[in-house]
Amino acid sequence: MEEARVRMKTDEYIVEMKNITKRFPGVVANDDVSISIKKGEVFAILGENGAGKSTLMSMLFGMYEPDAGEIFVRGEKVKIDSPNEAVRLDIGMVHQHFKLVENYTVSESIVLGIEPIKHLLGVIPYVDIKSANKAVQELSQRYGLEIEPTKKIEDLQVYARQRVEILKMLYREAEILIFDEPTAVLTPQEIDYLLGIIEKLRESGKTIILITHKLEEIKRVADRCAILNRGKLVDVLDVETTSTAEMARLMVGRDVLMEVDKPKAQFGEEVLIVENLFVEDMNHFAVVKDVSFSVRRGEIFAIAGVSGNGQVEVADAISGMLPIKSGKVSLNGRDITDLPVKERTDAGISYIPEDRQSMGLILDLSLAENLVLKSYHDAPYSRGEILNKDAFLQHAKEMIEAYDIRSGGGATGMVRQMSGGNQQKAIVGREIELGSDLMIFVQPTRGLDIGAITGIRERMIEQRAAGKAILLISLELDEIMAMADTIGVMYSGEMQKITSADDITSEEVGEYMMGVKHA
Amino acid sequence: METIIIDGLSYALPLFIIAIGGIYSERSGIINLALEGLLGFGAFTGGLFVALLGKYFTHAGWPIYLSFLVAAIGGGIFALLHALLTIKFKANQVISGVVVNIVSVALTGFLTSQINASVFDQPSNRFLLSVLPRYTIPVLSDIPVIGAIFKNVYPFSFMIVVLFIIFWYIFRHSRYGMHLRACGDNPQAADAAGINVYRTRFWAVVISGALAGIGGMSFAYSISTNFSPAVYMGAGYLAIAALIFGNWNIMPTLFACLIFGFARSGAYQLMRELALPSSFSDLAMTIPYVLTLLLLIFFSKTNKAPRALGEIYDKSKR
Amino acid sequence: MPDSNRRGNPLLRFFGNQRWQFITIPLVAILMSLITASIIVLILGKNPLTTFQSLLQGSGFIPKPNYANFKNVFTDFVDTVDAVTPMIFASLAVAVAFHAGLFNIGVSGQMLLSGFVATIVVGYSPLPAVLAKPLVIIIGIIVGALVGGLIGFLKYRFNINEVVAAIMLNYIIQYTISFFINTRYVDPVSRQSRVISSASRLTLLNVPYGDIRMRIPIAFVIAILLAIFLWFFFAKMKPGFEMKMVGLNQVASRYAGVRIGKTLIMAMMISGALAGLAGVSYYLGFFSSIQPNVLTSVGFDAIAVSLLGNSHPIGVIFSSWLITALSRGGTYMSSMVGIRYEIAALIVGLILLFSAMSQFIRQRINALISRSDRR
């Protein structure tokens, strides 16, 4: 292993980015960044969210053009003005949000853009899906990326979609492979598998650029690591000779304080009781099957699971966003199974949804309006049918202060203009201010930087101390392990296991998440 | 029964070709309410061609065939307007469609009168077309009942069937068709795969204009044998209803157009059989629309528009 | 970008002020279309200035050289007011639906049905004016609201695209009413429906005033008041706020506790009611009879008029005015300048075309500004 690493390394630089600067309205995403990547190495780019990692690599992949600076590939100066150009230079990228056509099959998605063509009667061209299927099959076997070529994308799980994205690059015979936060939504076991694939790819001579903020991954697979902080290059380090603590310090620009201080739990009576819950999706497909659990006052009950195993649907069903097929949900002893959303909110449910931009906020309304999204019917925000916009503004001013929400346009600025972290702060603030007995947090820290993550976790602890019942749903096992008092694991719509957080290791949780271990 | 089939087909097929155009546009992600204006402008250019140059042809058939070609070109060119507005100028697609329709009615109205006045020196708002010949295919037309399909067929019906096969093939099996469908489902993904989303959508809209032009020309011939503002009778909107009913797929849309065509001719036939006065034809005319609405009630629940339909794609925003 | 207003070229500064762009951008669109129209007129060998002058004269904005008996510039102007009234209602109808994220392309059909019902129930009755006129308005509101509500219901309950449902209903209404008019209410000479009683008509005719006789469109006042109310409704009222929420994001609105179905149906009912008012002020005001088998273009033009007015209730008043005045000046312009009256429709089309590009114009202007800022 170590030998292989040394052998594949040569001192020839395959990619050089020199003095790259990229500005977006209001921010400098990359400020005079220079990096050089050797052929055949795994080069990690480490930084917090918003540090400019993805922007830097998007320029290498031709999605943006730098405002200043030069890019060299294999020693030649290049102008990469489109992904097409990048592909021509044998560069491929797996984006954080997969770019797949939902109603295409796996092989259609892979060959899209460079389809194999055959001719009917020797003249009429058509896309030869059969040979595409075959090519995909071969490719997937060669790299151990098992997948069924004729399956539709919309029927695939997250890890399988990621495989499609990887195969897409390999089909295009890319030599330089960029992975943008590839492990964010995978289980420990899937991460393990993926890192294995990355190692295998390096052995076959590919150059790999890994964008991440997870230090363990870097430690495991990367040869060198560039650290970005607020758009600036801090350092390029040899991974073997640097400690993770050092990397973390450089990444954050200060000493890291990740552990939130969590006092011992004091459980009260049961606030939420879910009994034999069944939920169906739009196509009458059962997505939640016979799920039962309860959350007590002062308890953080966390549901772990791989994306798409019914956890979000549990939250949606409790909050009234999805109809309940059968079963019973009660809140403080009151049956709320069939109540509409509004009445559940009034009964005492706060809900921080997974999708903050399309569910939690109305992006084209002002911050002030979004902060009263659930309370505009009540005094002082309205009297009778008339809204009191002055009260909206007054409230917004207080919230901006209390929750440190930063909005360029102030209270009347559109939420769309705000950063993801500040949007999330606005939602969390609004939901906490409702003062509900039950607070549902779904993926509350996704895509946020460490500062914001710590802030939100502290809020959660604070609410727990105030005797609220908290239901946390997260795809990130680290978050579950850090926050939960009680852990429930869902797989394929069923609750596999419910146990106290003290009695289970993250590896065991991972096994339940994969469905390999049953209670 | 025979009349129902003959008349039904001669209405359903032009409607269908317009709807195929709509499918191209909408599956690429561009809502196309402009079909009405496109078919009208196509028919206008075809009619203008016949009025200006028809007399120079010795064989009476040529101006007819060429008029369809000209109508396709005219519809395609006018579709540039919708393409520019929605793709380049990022206009709201529904509004752009409505505006294109209004401009089409205004422009063709103005041009027809102006040209009739200054070129032919006569006050008229129409261009006269010749009566189309109709063909009966021997042998096949002798088959009982369905033989009617091959009786008294307009030449455009043959043309439309051929175009249908070609454009179905392109849609399903060609590289362009595959790219087009990707653009309507996830333009970001198409872009990442190196497909030029703007160009793909641009051509899809132009194709929809050309096909609508052919459909419009067919209606101009079959319904009134002239081009006049009467060609704007709502076939474009009906085509949209048909393609939505057909769930944005070509084959089910054909089915929808046939139902509509046969309901229409069937209702007329019923009036005739019952010997009702002509004023009842208005009542008969409602039947296809009522039927469509009822069918929509039953079949819309599972309807799924292309995911990116109506979404303004801006490459610089991701 | 408050800084940008203090620097750069004054024209850019004027159009760049984002607070005023809701009015400056439509002005750019109008300007561009007038330039284009001028070029067309020049190509036809006529003088654009006299063309536009005669358009304004024809619609009563500036005096004509001479007038027939009992007429002057004021009567022409009031005639235009009479014509603009249905357009304001119709454009408000489109605007309300648009705020809730819906397209009411069925305004013309809703106009026809409410006009027809009011005609046969009130127009042909011997009711006195005090009863007849309010009744006409109430019927207009109710019938329009029912048709609009039906479209909203079909959308919510059966997932039927509102554009398609509205188009189908347009045809069904058009043909059904044509049938009834032709079989029962036809005037054999005009081939239209029989003229309604003057007591039921919303426009008073030949009201003497000094030495002129003029029309008084009663519904115009209602239109203006409603526009002002709707402005308040969307800016300050709970249901208006909810409609805007639903129009911007249905999922988030549901999450916030808004009843989507109720809101959609209510928006379509209000939109339909406004279309109904457009219908009665058109068929029982501006006109006094119904032409069978024809849907008025008012309902379709209203979509674009609403766009030109930025879907803002007050903006819609001005854009309705502009578009109606242009179309009405056409006949007079044609006789004075000697170009075809269809050119007026073409100018209208051009204005709408350029206003459809408003988003792009805005982007361009703002891009120019940020570029000049950087220098």
Angle, in degrees to the nearest 10, between helices B2-27 and B250-273: 150
In a mutational test of the A interface, the residue from C255, C262, C373 whose CB has the highest number of chain A CBs within 10 Å is C255
What is the rounded average pLDDT of the residues B32-54? 94
C-alpha C324/C-alpha A143 separation (Å) is 69
Inspect the interface and report whether the beta carbons of A101 and B189 lie closer than 8 Å.
yes
- List chains adjacent to chain B, taking adjacency as at least 3 C-beta pairs closer than 8 Å: A, C
Q: Is C111 within the bounds of a domain?
A: yes
Residues of A in contact with C256 (CB under 8 A): 341, 362, 373-374
Say whether pLDDT at B312 is over 80.
yes
Q: Is C189 within the bounds of a domain?
A: yes
CA gyration radius, chain C: 22
Q: Is B305 within the bounds of a domain?
A: no
Inspect the interface and report whether the beta carbons of B103 and C350 lie closer than 8 Å.
yes
Does CATH place domain A12-252 in 3.40.50.10860? no
Residues of C in contact with A376 (CB under 8 A): 238, 241
SS (H, E, C) A251-319: HHCCCCCCCCCCCCCCCCCEEEEEEEEEEECCCCCEEEEEEEEEEECCCEEEEECCCCCCHHHHHHHHH
Look at residues A478, A518, A460, A474 and name the one whose alpha carbon lies nearest to residue A494.
A518
Higher pLDDT among residues C20 and A180, named by residue: A180
Let me know: does B15 contact B21? Beta carbons within 8 Å: no
Residues of B in contact with C167 (CB under 8 A): 234, 237-238, 240-241
**Sign of torsion, CA A396 A401 A403 A409?**
positive
Range(s) of the domain holding residue B83: 12-236+310-317
Look at residues B26, B16, B13, B164 and name the one whose alpha carbon lies nearest to residue B82.
B26
- List chains adjacent to chain A, taking adjacency as at least 3 C-beta pairs closer than 8 Å: B, C
B244 touches chain C (CB under 8 A): yes
Inspect the interface and report whether the beta carbons of C254 and A361 lie closer than 8 Å.
no
DSSP letter string, C292-354:
TT---THHHHHHHHHHHTTT-HHHHHHHHHHHHHHHHHHHHHHHHH-S-THHHHHHHHHHHHH
C241 touches chain A (CB under 8 A): yes
The structure tokens 């006092």 sit at: A263
Let me know: does A296 contact A342? Beta carbons within 8 Å: no
> What count of other Cβ atoms lies within 10 Å of the Cβ of residue B54?
19
C-alpha C347/C-alpha A353 separation (Å) is 50
Inspect the interface and report whether the beta carbons of C360 and B88 lie closer than 8 Å.
yes
| DSSP character at residue A179 | E
Cα distances from C70 to residues B40, C73, C203, in angstroms, run: 43, 11, 18
Identify the closest residue of chain B to A169 by CA–CA distance.
B193
Cα distances from A15 to residues A47, A61, A90, B102, in angstroms, run: 20, 12, 11, 54
Domain boundaries, chain A: 12-252, 270-513
Q: Is C100 within the bounds of a domain?
A: yes
Residues of A in contact with B162 (CB under 8 A): none
Let me know: does B174 contact A127? Beta carbons within 8 Å: yes
In chain A, which residues have pLDDT < 50?
1-10, 255, 257
Chain B 87-126, CB below 8 Å of chain C: which residues? 88-92, 94-96, 98-99, 101-103, 105-107, 109-110, 113-114, 117
Write the residue in C44, C159, C363 that is nearest to B301 by C-beta. C159
C91 touches chain A (CB under 8 A): no
Say whether pLDDT at C126 is over 90.
yes
> What count of other Cβ atoms lies within 10 Å of the Cβ of residue B209?
33
CATH of the domain at C257: 1.10.3470
Q: Is C15 within the bounds of a domain?
A: no
B199 touches chain A (CB under 8 A): no
Write the residue in A103, A127, A168 that is nearest to B173 by C-beta. A127
Inspect the interface and report whether the beta carbons of B175 and A108 lie closer than 8 Å.
no
Q: How many structural domains are present in chain B?
A: 1
DSSP, collapsed to helix, strand or coil, labels residue C150 as: helix
Say whether pLDDT at C276 is over 80.
yes
Pick the CATH number of A270-513 from 3.30.70.380, 3.40.50.1000, 3.40.50.300, 1.20.1740.10: 3.40.50.300
What is the rounded average pLDDT of the residues C343-351? 85
CA–CA min distance A83, chain B (Å): 6
Inspect the interface and report whether the beta carbons of C301 and B102 lie closer than 8 Å.
yes
Q: Is C7 within the bounds of a domain?
A: no
Look at residues A486, A432, A478, A475 and name the one whose alpha carbon lies nearest to residue A456.
A432
**Sign of torsion, CA C351 C357 C359 C361?**
negative
Identify the closest residue of chain C to A316 by CA–CA distance.
C255
C-alpha C135/C-alpha C202 separation (Å) is 11
Encode pLDDT of B62-113 as tens digits.
888 899 999 999 999 999 999 999 999 888 898 899 889 989 999 999 999 9
Q: Is B31 within the bounds of a domain?
A: yes
Say whether pLDDT at C249 is over 80.
yes
Report the length, in residues, of chain B.
318
Identify the closest residue of chain B to C338 by CA–CA distance.
B114
User: Which tokens is C340 given?
Assistant: 């075809």
User: Which tokens is C366 given?
Assistant: 């703002």
Query: How far is it between the farthest Cα atoms of chain B?
Result: 64
Q: Is C227 within the bounds of a domain?
A: yes
Say whether pLDDT at C370 is over 80.
no
pLDDT of residue C25: 80
C252 touches chain A (CB under 8 A): yes
C-alpha C253/C-alpha C264 separation (Å) is 12
User: What are the phi and psi torsion angles at C210 (to 5°)?
Assistant: 60, -130
Q: Exposed (0-12), middle (13-18) or buried (19+): which is C38, by Cβ within 10 Å?
A: middle
Q: Is B248 within the bounds of a domain?
A: no
C-alpha B213/C-alpha B71 separation (Å) is 5
Q: Is B247 within the bounds of a domain?
A: no
What is the rounded average pLDDT of the residues C127-149? 97
The structure tokens 């930025």 sit at: C310
Q: Is B261 within the bounds of a domain?
A: no
pLDDT of residue A506: 84
A374 touches chain C (CB under 8 A): yes
Range(s) of the domain holding residue C279: 65-310
Write the residue in A63, A99, A127 that is nearest to B178 by C-beta. A127
Inspect the interface and report whether the beta carbons of C161 and B244 lie closer than 8 Å.
yes
What's chain B's average pLDDT? 90
Chain B 283-312, CB below 8 Å of chain C: which residues? 283, 285-286, 289-290, 292-293, 296-297, 300-301, 303
Q: Is B96 within the bounds of a domain?
A: yes
User: What are the phi and psi torsion angles at C188 (to 5°)?
Assistant: -60, -25
Write the residue in C297, C340, C353 that is nearest to B110 by C-beta. C340
Look at residues A317, A290, A288, A314 and name the one whose alpha carbon lies nearest to residue A492.
A288
In a mutational test of the B interface, the residue from A64, A101, A152, A172 whose CB has the highest number of chain B CBs within 10 Å is A101
pLDDT of residue C339: 83
pLDDT of residue B131: 83
Say whether pLDDT at C258 is over 70.
yes
SS (H, E, C) A361-427: CCCCCEHHHHHCCCCCCCCCCEECCEECHHHHHHHHHHHHHHHCCCCCCHHHCEHHHCCHHHHHHHH
Say whether pLDDT at C243 is over 90.
yes
Query: Which residue(s) pair with A42 in the sheet?
Result: A208
Q: Is B130 within the bounds of a domain?
A: yes
Q: Is C348 within the bounds of a domain?
A: no
CA–CA min distance C6, chain A (Å): 19
Inspect the interface and report whether the beta carbons of C257 and A363 lie closer than 8 Å.
no
Pairing of strands A76-78, A68-73: antiparallel
Q: Is B152 within the bounds of a domain?
A: yes
pLDDT of residue B191: 87
CA–CA min distance B181, chain A (Å): 9
pLDDT of residue C219: 95
pLDDT of residue B72: 97
Inspect the interface and report whether the beta carbons of B289 and C171 lie closer than 8 Å.
yes
Identify the closest residue of chain B to C295 by CA–CA distance.
B233
Report the length, in residues, of chain A.
519
C-alpha A406/C-alpha A418 separation (Å) is 7
Encode pLDDT of B258-308 as tens digits.
999 999 999 888 888 888 887 788 888 898 899 888 988 887 777 788 888
Say whether pLDDT at B135 is over 60.
yes
Pairing of strands A494-500, A324-331: unpaired
Report the length, in residues, of chain C.
375
Let me know: does A176 contact A188? Beta carbons within 8 Å: no
A297 touches chain B (CB under 8 A): no
In this structure, the dihedral spanned by the alpha carbons of residues B251, B253, B256 and B262, taken in order and rounded to 10 degrees, is -70
Cα distances from C366 to residues A24, A195, A408, C154, C353, in angstroms, run: 15, 46, 18, 41, 21
> Cα(first)–Cα(last) distance of chain C, in Å?
15
pLDDT of residue C336: 86
Q: Exposed (0-12), middle (13-18) or buried (19+): which is B59, by Cβ within 10 Å?
A: exposed
Q: How many structural domains are present in chain C?
A: 1
Let me know: does A70 contact A18? Beta carbons within 8 Å: yes
Higher pLDDT among residues B95 and B171, named by residue: B171
The distance from CA B113 to its chain's CA centroid, rounded to whole angstroms, is: 24
> What count of other Cβ atoms lies within 10 Å of the Cβ of residue A23?
15
Q: Is C337 within the bounds of a domain?
A: no
Encode pLDDT of C187-222 as tens digits.
999 999 999 999 999 999 888 888 888 889 999 999
Let me know: does A240 contact A76? Beta carbons within 8 Å: no
Q: Exposed (0-12), middle (13-18) or buried (19+): which is A466, by Cβ within 10 Å?
A: exposed
**Sign of torsion, CA B9 B14 B15 B17?**
positive
> What count of other Cβ atoms lies within 10 Å of the Cβ of residue C184?
11
Say whether pLDDT at B313 is over 90.
no
| DSSP character at residue C6 | G
What is the rounded average pLDDT of the residues B180-184? 95
Say whether pLDDT at B317 is over 70.
no
C-alpha B201/C-alpha B250 separation (Å) is 18
Inspect the interface and report whether the beta carbons of B174 and A101 lie closer than 8 Å.
no
